[in-house]
């Protein structure tokens, strides 16, 4: 295999970031023994080098909804965005609620190059919990369970209608605790959402945020935390969107509970004011919130309350998004390819550090979901991303590789470009 020498780049790590040469032979990284020459020499002066990123919340739609996206198209999108490991959600068709269905997805994923796709198991009924237990206890599934990064549960319906009732949720928290696997939850309270929705009589898209109000997220998190207190479950809040939810999590963490959370770029970089421009392209669950929430979430990232930034990459076709009544359009936006450029742009404004980006898009998801990815250290085989932090780019949906061909960040000027993944 040809050798590669990458010179003068700045390697970002959780220890200390530093300019170092990197020598790669047979896919193995060496920092100490960088030889003078190699078959390929890359001058990385002015470039940042990260271990390739992890997006721990994506929907790749396969099987069942491949008109929106598929594993191959979305993996290309991920790679273009510097992401080579993703955790994929169970709301496909069929959903990932059985060992057989998980096997089917793992088989498709094994043919996909350049992206390590892990899968969340889904639970909507008691019998799915039995399947989950079998997966994590029976010897015959030792290999298969390595592809499963945890279990996902919905407290209210979203795309794919996977809401679980309270009895199922409680049993799941108990069993997942015994199995020591993380429970990721979509935290919106169904009763509050239903009661809020009936009050809305108009069709404007901005009503989406009123129909799924902040209180809904807060109550859902509180209910889940009461189960964490009872069973000690490892609990992860998906796509946290509110300042209120954040402060509850901050408190629970201080009390020592095993709770982690993630925020999505759309909740960090967009708010309700963007509905005017975006229409239904700004519709997702949980919905866009206020500027103050955005601000609080960014603070949460920097003070360590927020563990991961992950995209909830959820492509739908433009045709579906252009429903006559925007409130009938499906919820969800793509994001895996724009995650890192958006965070680098925040870094260019001193809102976040490169080390923090590494932490929330690599170190923490790697740890929480036990993905077994390596840092850039002597002898590791990790994929690396070269980034030019000073390159200006304008985001255009038509240039992105996701099958859906659009982005809620259309026209946004970002600072930072993925130069390559090795």
Place of tokens 């919106």: 188
- C-beta separation of 60 from 105 below 8 A: no
- C-beta separation of 421 from 84 below 8 A: yes
The distance of closest approach from Cβ of residue 59 to Zn ion in the complex, given in angstroms and rounded to an integer, is: 6
Residue 186 as a binder of ligand DOR (CB under 6 A): the answer is yes
Cα dihedral 372, 374, 378, 381 in deg (nearest 10): 90
Q: Using CB under 5 A, which residues numbered 235 to 294 contact Zn ion?
A: none
SS3 354: helix
Phi, psi of 43 (to 5 degrees): -90, 110
Tell whether the torsion through CA atoms of 362, 368, 372 and 378 is positive or negative: positive
Residue 44 as a binder of ligand DOR (CB under 6 A): the answer is no
> 128 or 186, CB closer to ligand DOR?
186
233/151 Cα distance (integer angstroms) = 12
Nearest to 120 by CA among 371, 402, 382: 371
Query: Residue 338: CB partners within 8 Å, gap ≥ 6?
Result: 81, 265, 311, 395, 400, 407, 409, 414
SS3 113: coil
> 23 or 409, CB closer to Zn ion?
409
Residue nearest to Zn ion (CB): 312
Among residues 21, 55, 307, 312, which one is catalytic? 312
* Per-residue interface string for the shown chain with Zn ion, residues 307-326, x marking contact by CB under 5 A: -----x--------------
* Residue 62 partner contact from Zn ion, ligand DOR, none using kind-dependent CB cut-offs of 5 to 8 Å: none
Compute the chain's Rg from CA coordinates: 21
- C-beta separation of 186 from 156 below 8 A: yes
Place of tokens 């200390």: 16
Give the single-character DSSP code of 361. Answer: I
The distance of closest approach from Cβ of residue 312 to Zn ion in the complex, given in angstroms and rounded to an integer, is: 4
The distance of closest approach from Cβ of residue 41 to ligand DOR in the complex, given in angstroms and rounded to an integer, is: 44
Q: Which one of the spans 44-52, 169-177, 306-314, 407-415 is the region binding Zn ion (CB under 5 A)?
A: 306-314
Binding residues for ligand DOR, rule CB under 6 A, total 11
The distance of closest approach from Cβ of residue 313 to ligand DOR in the complex, given in angstroms and rounded to an integer, is: 9
Instruction: Find the binder of ligand DOR among 10, 30, 73, 91 (CB under 6 A).
Output: 91
Residue 332 as a binder of ligand DOR (CB under 6 A): the answer is yes
Tell whether the torsion through CA atoms of 86, 151, 312 and 103 is positive or negative: positive
The distance of closest approach from Cβ of residue 339 to Zn ion in the complex, given in angstroms and rounded to an integer, is: 14
* Per-residue interface string for the shown chain with ligand DOR, residues 49-68, x marking contact by CB under 6 A: ----------x---------
Query: Residue 166: CB partners within 8 Å, gap ≥ 6?
Result: none
* Per-residue interface string for the shown chain with ligand DOR, residues 375-394, x marking contact by CB under 6 A: --------------------
Q: Which one of the spans 99-107, 139-147, 158-166, 193-201 is the region binding ligand DOR (CB under 6 A)?
A: 158-166
Residue 217 as a binder of Zn ion (CB under 5 A): the answer is no
* Per-residue interface string for the shown chain with ligand DOR, residues 306-325, x marking contact by CB under 6 A: --------x-----------
Instruction: Find the binder of ligand DOR among 10, 85, 158, 241 (CB under 6 A).
Output: 158
Q: Which one of the spans 40-48, 101-109, 156-164, 400-408 is the region binding ligand DOR (CB under 6 A)?
A: 156-164
* Per-residue interface string for the shown chain with Zn ion, residues 60-79, x marking contact by CB under 5 A: --------------------
Tell whether the torsion through CA atoms of 266, 294, 122 and 139 is positive or negative: positive
Does the active-site annotation cover 156?
A: no
301/292 Cα distance (integer angstroms) = 14
Residue 81, CB-side half-sphere exposure with 13 Å CA sphere = 34
Crossing angle between the packed helical segments 243-254 and 214-231, to the nearest 10 degrees = 20
> 91 or 417, CB closer to ligand DOR?
91
> E strands along 231-283, which residues?
235-237, 259-263
Q: Which one of the spans 10-18, 26-34, 157-165, 398-406 is the region binding ligand DOR (CB under 6 A)?
A: 157-165
Instruction: Find the binder of ligand DOR among 13, 96, 260, 331 (CB under 6 A).
Output: 331
330/337 Cα distance (integer angstroms) = 20
> 184 or 393, CB closer to ligand DOR?
184
Residues noted as catalytic: 312
Residues found near Zn ion in the complex (CB under 5 A): 312
Residues found near ligand DOR in the complex (CB under 6 A): 59, 91, 158-160, 186, 284-285, 314, 331-332
């Amino acid at each position: 295999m040809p050798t590669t020498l990458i010179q003068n780049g700045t390697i970002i790590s959780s220890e200390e970031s530093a300019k170092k040469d990197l020598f790669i032979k047979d896919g193995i990284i060496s920092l100490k023994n960088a030889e003078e020459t190699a078959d390929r020499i890359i001058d990385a002066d002015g470039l940042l080098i990260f271990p390739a990123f992890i997006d721990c919340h994506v929907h790749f739609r396969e099987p069942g909804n491949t008109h929106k996206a598929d594993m191959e198209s979305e993996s290309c999108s991920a790679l273009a965005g510097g992401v080579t490991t993703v955790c994929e959600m169970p709301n496909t068709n069929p959903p990932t609620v059985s060992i057989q269905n998980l096997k089917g997805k793992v088989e498709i994923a094994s043919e996909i190059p350049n992206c390590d796709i892990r899968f969340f198991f889904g639970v909507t009924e008691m019998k799915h919990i039995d399947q989950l237990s079998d997966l994590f206890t029976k010897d015959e599934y030792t290999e298969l369970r390595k592809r499963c990064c945890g279990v996902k549960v919905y407290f209210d319906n979203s795309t794919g209608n996977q809401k679980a009732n309270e009895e199922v949720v409680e049993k799941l928290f108990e069993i997942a605790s015994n199995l020591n696997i993380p429970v990721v939850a979509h935290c919106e309270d169904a009763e509050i959402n239903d009661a809020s929705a009936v009050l809305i009589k108009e069709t404007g898209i901005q009503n989406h945020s009123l129909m799924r109000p902040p209180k809904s997220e807060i109550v859902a998190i509180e209910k889940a935390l009461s189960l964490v207190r009872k069973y000690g479950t490892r609990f992860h809040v998906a796509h946290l969107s509110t300042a209120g939810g954040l402060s509850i999590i901050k408190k629970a963490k201080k009390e020592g509970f095993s709770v982690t959370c993630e925020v999505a770029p759309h909740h960090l970089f967009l708010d309700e004011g963007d509905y005017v421009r975006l229409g239904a392209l700004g519709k997702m669950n949980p919905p866009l919130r206020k500027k103050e929430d955005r601000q609080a979430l960014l603070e949460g990232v920097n003070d360590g309350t927020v563990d991961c930034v992950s995209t909830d990459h959820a492509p739908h076709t433009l045709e579906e998004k252009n429903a006559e009544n925007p409130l009938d359009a499906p919820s969800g936006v793509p994001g895996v390819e724009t995650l890192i450029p958006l965070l680098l742009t925040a870094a260019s404004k001193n809102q976040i550090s490169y080390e923090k980006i590494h932490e929330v898009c690599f170190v923490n998801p790697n740890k929480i979901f036990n993905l077994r990815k390596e840092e850039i250290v002597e002898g590791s085989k990790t994929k690396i991303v070269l980034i030019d932090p000073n390159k200006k780019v304008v985001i255009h949906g038509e240039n992105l590789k996701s099958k859906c061909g659009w982005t809620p960040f259309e026209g946004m000027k970002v600072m930072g470009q993925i130069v390559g993944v090795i």
